[in-house]
Amino acid sequence: MQISRHPTRPIEGQVPGTSGLRKKTRVFMQSHYLENFIQSIWNAIGGLEGKMLVLGGDGRYFNDRAAQVILRMAAASGARRVIVGRDGLLSTPAASHLIRLHGADGGIILSASHNPGGPEADFGVKFNTANGGPAPESLTRAIHDESLRLSEYAIFEAADLPLGQIGEHSFGGMTVEVVDPVADYRALMARLFDFEAIAGLIAGGFRLRFDAMHAVTGPYARDILETALGAPAGSVVNAVPLPDFGGGHPDPNPVWARDLVAHVMGPGAPDFAAASDGDGDRNMILGRGIYVTPSDSLAVLAANAHLTPGHAQGLRGIARSMPTSRAADRVAAARGLPCFATPTGWKFFGNLLDAGHVTLCGEESAGTGSDHVREKDGLWAVLMWLNILAVRRMSVADLMAAHWAEFGRNYYTRHDYEGIDSAAAAGLMEDLRVRLPSLPGQDFAGLRVAAAEDFAYTDPVDGSVATGQGIQIGFDGGARAVLRLSGTGTEGATLRLYLEQLREAPEDLHADPAEVLAPVARAADVLAGIKARTGRTAPDVVT
């Protein structure tokens, strides 16, 4: 086996963010860029000698090239075996499952998730550890440290592997096993859910539409929803993964999946609709005439999980990211379950899941998951909803009405100000931080601040501390605003403003969320000076 050791120099800025390293595709394609980062991962985990990895990605532009480079670098560093999805494809939850199923030492997922793909768009690399979950901050810091002292990388000089062929290939001293990306994931779903009940629901005339947004879930959704559960052919739309996702943002929210939303709001709407993102870990849930916010979806799944075979024994606890609405907390309180609020990003749920403190986790950004893997899981959430609807036999709208009547309604929205000047964004957050102690008791646009904090989290399992995780402002009357800067963008800064207002009176449960939240938005704007500092009169994206 011919191994080359290429001298290289550290590259600035290889800093993993909320979910892996994300950069413009062109940046990743620069000479040595990908190789440097991958070698930094190998170095940070103490080398690859004798180890087993899982590899796959969401099919975006450069996925195929990057997969070949990573396999050659794994072989050069002495890996024993790499399990790869056919054509280099694996959804993020399927990769997490394969790591756990095979007892692999970790995995690499090639994805920038909901960011657009293509030569002029975004690419990303995530490293997951042996539990199947995203690398914790201690490891992502170590990877960055390695990237700053790197002087060479090793690569096996060989021709491309035929990743379209299922089976084993020997590659230097390493075995590459190409697997069907869907089969093991489908088997896991069939264990967790009552496929017969869901198939019965569909056979009885229940109509659904799933929008794969030309991203990785297309083959998974077709196989499970159409082939296994009997949804008519064509129920899965935009099912063929494309390197540029058909030119769209594979982000399942009312802005980027507006056709699907229009479809459920119009005449002839199906009973249920859903969409997933680039790498298949997010979900958007819709019913005829209704959009379910991700925060509400988490709460509904928590309240009804016991109706599905995988969670028939009930839940151990629930965790949500701090900006996610407190709808799930209300379910936890009613059911006497522990409830945790973590910083944004799935990596913070891993320890809670591993230690058995929680069963369900969720984020307001359309991520929900359980202890079946260590990632959020888009299709899992869809199947969980279908299983619950198959048992309860009510419409999505009626289920939501019943849920709010029982637990109250946490009206919720998120405003994103994208591509703003990084210095202006940092200045806004810093000034707010300095003013935090003086805010309680002050009025802003008619709302009085009750509490204000810079969110910090101490992991209850390993004691690690994450600081500066977002500014949380509580107002009198149950309203809340959270401000934080995105850690997944590739241009300028994105300011996220999360708004929440609890209403419990029966006559207040069916109002227009934008109207209910307008006063909170005004108060947050005045308090943080968003318009003044960013020069923006309105958010770019409202979800």
Residue nearest to ligand VG1 (CB): 113
Binding window for ligand VG1 (CB under 6 A); candidates: 42-50, 53-61, 153-161, 361-369: 361-369
Residue 449 or 466: the one with the smaller Cβ distance to ligand VG1 is 466
Out of Co ion, ligand VG1, none, what residue 85 binds, judged by CB under 5 to 8 A for its kind, is: none
Work out whether 347 is an interface residue with ligand VG1 (CB under 6 A): no
Give yes or no for a contact between 482 and 322, defined as CB atoms under 8 angstroms apart.
yes
Residue 329 contact, options Co ion, ligand VG1, none, Cβ 5-8 Å cut-off depending on partner type: none
154 C-beta neighbours (distance < 10 Å), count: 18
* 422-439 as b/e: b if 16+ CB within 10 A: eebbeebbeebeeebeeb
- Interface with ligand VG1 (CB under 6 A), residue total 18
The residue among 92 and 342 lying less far from Co ion, judged by its C-beta, is 92
> Binding pattern to Co ion, positions 249-278, x when CB under 5 A?
----------------------------x-
63 token code pair: 């996925």
- Out of Co ion, ligand VG1, none, what residue 146 binds, judged by CB under 5 to 8 A for its kind, is none
Q: Which of 18, 40, 253, 501 binds ligand VG1 (CB under 6 A)?
A: 18
Backbone angles phi, psi at 262, to 5 degrees: -60, -40
- The DSSP 8-state label assigned to residue 231 in this structure reads P
Is residue 374 within the footprint of ligand VG1 (CB under 6 A)?
no
Residue 344 touches ligand VG1, criterion: CB under 6 A: yes
Among 190, 244, 486, 541, binds ligand VG1 (CB under 6 A): 486
Query: Of 488, 490, 534, 543, which lies in the binding site for ligand VG1, with binding defined by CB under 6 A?
Result: 488
DSSP codes of every residue in 404-422? HHHH-EEEEEEEEEEEE-H
Q: Which of 281, 296, 329, 371 binds ligand VG1 (CB under 6 A)?
A: 281
Nearer to Co ion, 182 or 396 (CB): 182
Q: Find out whether 29 and 67 touch, Cβ atoms under 8 Å.
A: no
Answer yes or no whether residue 113 interacts with Co ion by CB under 5 A.
yes
Which of 409, 496, 503, 533 touches ligand VG1 (CB under 6 A)?
A: 496
Nearest to Co ion of 282, 503 (CB atom): 282
Residue 496 interacts, among ligand VG1, Co ion, none and using kind-specific CB cut-offs from 5 to 8 Å, with: ligand VG1
Q: Which two tokens stand for residue 539?
A: 């958010």
Pair 530, 428: CB distance under 8 Å: yes
Among 72, 100, 282, 330, binds ligand VG1 (CB under 6 A): 282
151 is catalytic: no
The tokens describing 267, both together, are 């005449």
**Which residues within the stretch 249-278 sit at the binding site for ligand VG1 (CB under 6 A)?**
277
DSSP 286-302: EETTEEE-HHHHHHHHH
Question: Coil, strand, or helix at residue 178?
Answer: strand
Instruction: Give the N- to C-terminal CA distance of the chain in Å, as an integer.
Output: 52
Q: Point out which span in 42-50, 227-235, 333-341, 483-491 binds ligand VG1 (CB under 6 A).
A: 483-491
What 367-370 contacts at long range (C-beta under 8 Å, 24+ apart), as own/partner pairs, is 367/281, 367/282, 367/283, 367/294, 368/283, 368/294, 368/297, 368/298, 368/301, 369/93, 369/281, 370/305, 370/310, 370/311
Buried b (16+ CB within 10 A) or exposed e, 499-533: bbbbbeeeeebeeeeeebbebbbebbbbbbebeeb
The answer to whether the CB of 470 falls within 8 A of the CB of 343 is yes
Binding site for Co ion (CB under 5 A): 113, 277, 279, 281-282
List contacts with ligand VG1 (CB under 6 A).
Answer: 18-19, 113-114, 277, 281-282, 321, 344-346, 363, 365, 367, 486-488, 496
Q: Which residues are catalytic?
A: 113
